[in-house]
């Protein structure tokens, strides 16, 4: 049994489904910085993006942190958390694991956490509007996670906006984001669903300030934010490096506990 436990820490192993049931569910959605690019680098020999395979201690796997696989079964979570969902990109370390480990460190009796990865790199907010593929996938996976357990959805963690930093998209961002949040809450029949959004610190375009202002001024109940400004980026000047990914994950956890942790 002990060897089986150790084996499960490092690989996705087959455990009887009834043994893997979280009672605290968190939705992870947005684009690449939520999917995770920590440790991703350009291999100069192949000119391809690769992950360095380095997992910081704050991202360690544990039987108390589960993930909902693409086939909607639960298993022990491990980095890269979004490898099945954001499968056309190279994924690395993301905020989900340090978020979960931070909660468990501060609240040892919190229970088993179930992460529901839904983020996809390079996506605009209009691609998350009701009726789109990404929206339907998010809502469908959220419902499947909730129905397969006795747990409730603790929060939606949202990190997106870098692709909306063009002039027109940035001007429309606030309305689109608020509509998205309202639609998700309605379709999940959870009008007070806690939402924690990351205010972006970099973007693809010249209108980063517009998107940041929109995110900072969302005026909906139970929507709070953490700010990524000042965190260090990879050489592409767009994605958080591993150290910063861990930091933002821990900030998300602290925000959840302070605002919604009771």
Q: Provide the annotated active-site residues.
A: 32, 236, 239
**74-76 vs 113-117, strand pairing mode:** unpaired
C-alpha–C-alpha distance, residues 209 and 207, integer Å: 5
Report the candidate in 86, 114, 92, 1 with the shortest Cα–Cα distance to residue 38. Answer: 92
User: Measured at the alpha carbon of residue 168, what is the angle toward residues 167 and 171, in degrees to the nearest 5?
Assistant: 90
C-alpha–C-alpha distance, residues 122 and 160, integer Å: 9
The dihedrals phi and psi of 127, each to the nearest 5 degrees, come to -80, -5
Report the candidate in 6, 25, 202 with the shortest Cα–Cα distance to residue 111. Answer: 25
């Amino acid at each position: 049994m002990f060897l089986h436990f150790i084996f499960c820490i490092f690989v996705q192993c087959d455990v009887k489904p009834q043994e893997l049931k979280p009672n605290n569910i968190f939705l992870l959605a947005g684009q690449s910085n939520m999917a995770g690019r920590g440790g991703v680098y350009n291999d100069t020999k192949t000119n391809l993006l690769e992950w360095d395979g380095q997992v910081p201690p704050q991202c360690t796997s544990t039987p108390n942190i589960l993930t909902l696989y693409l086939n909607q079964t639960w298993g022990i979570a491990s980095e890269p958390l979004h490898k099945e969902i954001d499968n056309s990109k190279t994924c690395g370390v993301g905020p989900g694991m340090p978020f979960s480990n931070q909660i468990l460190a501060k609240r040892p009796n919190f229970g088993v956490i179930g992460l529901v990865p839904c983020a996809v790199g390079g996506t605009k907010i209009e691609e998350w509007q009701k009726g789109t593929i990404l929206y339907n996938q998010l809502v469908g996976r959220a419902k499947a996670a909730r129905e397969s357990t006795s747990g409730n959805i603790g929060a939606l963690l949202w990190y997106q906006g870098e692709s909306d930093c063009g002039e027109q998209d940035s001007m429309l961002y606030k309305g689109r984001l608020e509509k998205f949040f309202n639609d998700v809450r309605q379709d999940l029949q959870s009008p007070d669903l806690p939402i924690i959004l990351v205010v972006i610190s970099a973007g693809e375009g010249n209108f980063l300030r517009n998107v940041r202002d929109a995110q900072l001024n969302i005026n909906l109940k139970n929507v709070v934010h953490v700010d990524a400004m000042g965190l260090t980026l990879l050489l592409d000047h767009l994605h958080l490096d591993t150290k910063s990914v861990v930091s933002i994950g821990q900030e998300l956890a602290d925000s959840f506990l302070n605002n919604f942790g009771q």
